[in-house]
């Protein structure tokens, strides 16, 4: 898992599937989702996960129109393929990825 720091989001997107997880450290559902994403990352080799702390990156969250977290964007070949809001299990996320 990689945390967005000083770079632009576009610069950290992987070549196949990239999951961008917008979270905050104080958010319970965000912490639960983080565990699921880590499990998913351990099972799938072709997935990259980028975490974006909305408290540290308020401008990006505002630019994306994110009003609630956890909010997830899934990119395929560096193009936004889908998004979802709220907690999902790793199995649900795998199904979303398979449908892309």
Residues catalogued as catalytic = 27, 30
Q: How many CB atoms lie within 10 A of CB 31?
A: 14
Output the six-digit token pair for 19: 């999951």
Q: Is 93 within 8 Å of 37 (Cβ atoms)? A: yes
Residues 6+ apart with CB under 8 A from 40: 19, 47, 49, 90, 93, 94
Alpha helices in 44-87 (DSSP H): 58-64
Cα distance between residue 58 and residue 14, in whole Å: 23
């Amino acid at each position: 898992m990689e945390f967005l720091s000083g770079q632009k989001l576009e610069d950290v997107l992987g070549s196949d599937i990239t999951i961008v997880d917008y979270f905050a450290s104080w958010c319970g559902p965000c912490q639960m989702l983080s565990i699921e994403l880590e499990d998913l990352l351990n099972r799938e080799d072709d997935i990259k996960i980028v975490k974006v702390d909305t408290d540290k990156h308020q401008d990006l969250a505002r630019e994306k129109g994110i009003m609630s977290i956890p909010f997830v964007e899934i990119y395929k070949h560096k193009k936004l393929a889908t998004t979802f809001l709220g907690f999902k299990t790793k199995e649900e996320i795998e199904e979303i990825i398979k449908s892309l």
